[in-house]
């Protein structure tokens, strides 16, 4: 049997082996996230969501206070910070030992979350391109960093995205950003190809079909397509109806090398992982 080589991420001294697929549960403290079922704005709603994430087996909670859906308007830094302070306080009260990630492209927000609430990872949709201080801040904080590919900005990313060679262009983008992070001393980097961020429906499926082509970079891959348009537009349904489509996408991503699933629905993602792991186990006998 071929045994997977362990690949550890250091979350504040606690090592997580992501050669075993992991689930990142989404916690949105926003009024305008694209999937209405994920919006939690009151303390009661956040408590209920955190308890659900814990009970369903989330390995990481990814908290965000700034919607980045296509065409979205961005809150001010103060608005984002205030939302996160409220949300993070509730999370720490409910689940003190939870491994937390913050979904932000702003270095000041990342710094506050890490220093004040012990957030263990920064998930940046902009790969440092929307805040020149992000990379030095990550290096100084010494936390794992999710490096996501996006063409354009949240306001412009779906305005006719174009690639000469989709996979090659994204890998070259990652190589340049990884090199900069390594020069600054950043150790733990996770790659997110950015499904739905500056990519057409067709490009999203081309990328998913060739996701295994990123494994040569020898870094963990995060897959985040939960209830996104690559499911609901193809199926002519709504985000609220896209759980089954999301599970299908997660299963394919796992079989193509994804290490972390970023999802709204943790229970279903864990079930997909269990099935795929069993399949791989029997293929290697």
Annotated catalytic residues are: 228, 262
Q: What is the DSSP string of 123-188?
A: EETTTTTT-TTHHHHHHHHT--EEEE--SS-TTTTTSS---SSHHHHHHHHHHHHHHHHHHTT---
Contact 42, 56 (CB under 8 A): no
**Nearest-angstrom CA–CA distance, 128 and 105:** 7
Counted residue by residue, the chain has a size of: 285
All residues at 6 or more sequence positions from 271 whose CB lies less than 8 Å from its CB, including other chains: 247
Please give the backbone phi and psi of residue 44, each rounded to the nearest 5 degrees, phi first: -60, -45
Tell me the pairing of strands 22-28 and 60-64.
Answer: parallel
Tell me the pairing of strands 22-28 and 14-17.
Answer: unpaired
Buried b (16+ CB within 10 A) or exposed e, 173-193: bbeebbeebeeeebebbbbbb
All residues at 6 or more sequence positions from 283 whose CB lies less than 8 Å from its CB, including other chains: none
Q: What DSSP designation does 37 have? A: G
Q: What DSSP designation does 27 have? A: E
Q: What is the DSSP string of 200-239?
A: -HHHHHHHHHTGGGGGGG-S-BEE--TT-HHHHHHHT--G
């Amino acid at each position: 049997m071929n045994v997977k080589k362990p690949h550890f991420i250091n979350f504040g001294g606690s090592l997580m082996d992501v050669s075993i697929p992991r689930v990142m549960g989404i916690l949105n403290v926003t009024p305008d996230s694209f999937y209405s079922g994920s919006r939690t704005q009151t303390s009661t709603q956040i408590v209920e969501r955190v308890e659900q994430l814990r009970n369903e087996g989330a390995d990481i909670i990814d908290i965000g206070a700034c919607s980045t859906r296509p065409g979205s308007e961005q809150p001010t830094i103060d608005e984002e910070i205030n939302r996160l302070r409220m949300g993070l306080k509730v999370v720490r009260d409910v689940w003190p030992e939870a491994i937390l990630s913050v979904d932000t492209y702003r270095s000041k927000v990342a710094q506050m979350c890490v220093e004040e609430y012990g957030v263990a990872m920064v998930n940046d949709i902009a790969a440092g391109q929307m805040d020149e201080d992000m990379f030095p801040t990550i290096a100084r904080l010494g936390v794992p960093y999710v490096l996501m590919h996006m063409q354009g900005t949240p306001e412009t990313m779906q305005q006719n995205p174009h690639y000469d060679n989709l996979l090659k262009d994204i890998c070259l983008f990652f190589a340049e950003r990884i090199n900069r992070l390594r020069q600054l001393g950043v150790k733990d980097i996770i790659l997110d190809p950015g499904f739905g961020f500056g990519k057409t429906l067709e490009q999203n499926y081309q990328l998913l079909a060739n996701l295994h082509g990123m494994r040569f970079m020898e870094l963990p891959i995060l897959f985040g397509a939960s209830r996104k348009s690559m499911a609901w537009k193809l199926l002519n349904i709504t985000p609220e109806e896209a759980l089954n489509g999301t599970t299908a996408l997660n299963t394919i991503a796992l079989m193509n090398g994804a290490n972390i699933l970023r999802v709204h629905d943790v229970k279903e993602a864990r079930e997909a992982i269990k099935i795929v792991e069993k399949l791989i186990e029997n293929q290697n006998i």
